[in-house]
């Protein structure tokens, strides 16, 4: 049994190498799992009991690829879960700033944090005067949700 004059182990090896190369350009762990399954099937197809059994080789490939996918998915989640600190506007959560434009109930004002001004609303819809210190509690679209620093510290 051969495909294009190649032995089954060579076909599985080629499929495995191509899958690993595709994974380099599409890091989703899917093609890597297929590559691992194909390379393992390549090695196992050298054994006499599945050398001439296409069904046996396909079954081994499917089982090993599925197992590799589950293991890599678990590993990938663990690696990607520790993504580090928040970035972009979400890094402002917990930071303190100074009101530069009065924040009225149900209206936006301006807050300066680290040299940048941001649009902001008060979390409890109260007024916050200019030069008051505020703490960023969250982000809603393109505006910060803030609370006066004294009020925020007594709530904790």
> What pTM value is reported for the model?
0.51
Domain count for the chain, please give it.
2
Structural domain containing residue 129: 88-155
H or E element in which residue 121 lies? strand 116-122
Query: What is the CATH number for 149?
Result: 2.40.50.140
Do 68 and 130 fall into the same domain?
no
Do 73 and 101 fall into the same domain?
no
pLDDT in tens, the chain (156 residues): 556 678 889 999 999 999 999 988 887 778 999 999 999 999 999 998 888 888 999 999 999 999 999 988 887 777 666 656 655 677 788 899 999 999 998 889 999 998 889 999 998 888 999 999 999 998 888 889 999 987 555 554
Nearest to 134 by CA among 94, 90, 89, 85: 94
Do 151 and 93 fall into the same domain?
yes
């Amino acid at each position: 049994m051969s495909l294009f004059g190649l032995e089954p182990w060579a076909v599985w090896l080629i499929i495995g190498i191509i899958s690993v190369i595709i994974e380099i350009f599409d890091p989703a762990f899917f093609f890597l799992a297929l590559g691992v399954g194909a390379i393992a099937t390549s090695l196992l197809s050298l054994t006499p009991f599945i050398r001439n059994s296409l069904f046996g080789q396909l079954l081994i490939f499917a089982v090993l690829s599925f197992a590799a996918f589950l293991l890599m998915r678990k590993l990938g989640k663990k690696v990607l879960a520790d993504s580090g600190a928040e970035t972009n506007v979400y890094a402002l959560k917990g930071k303190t700033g100074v009101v530069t434009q009065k924040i009225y109930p149900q209206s936006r004002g301006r807050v300066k944090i680290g040299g940048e001004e941001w649009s902001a609303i008060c979390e409890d819809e109260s007024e916050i005067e200019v030069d008051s210190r505020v703490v960023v509690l969250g982000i809603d679209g393109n505006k910060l949700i803030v609370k006066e620093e004294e009020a925020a510290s007594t709530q904790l």
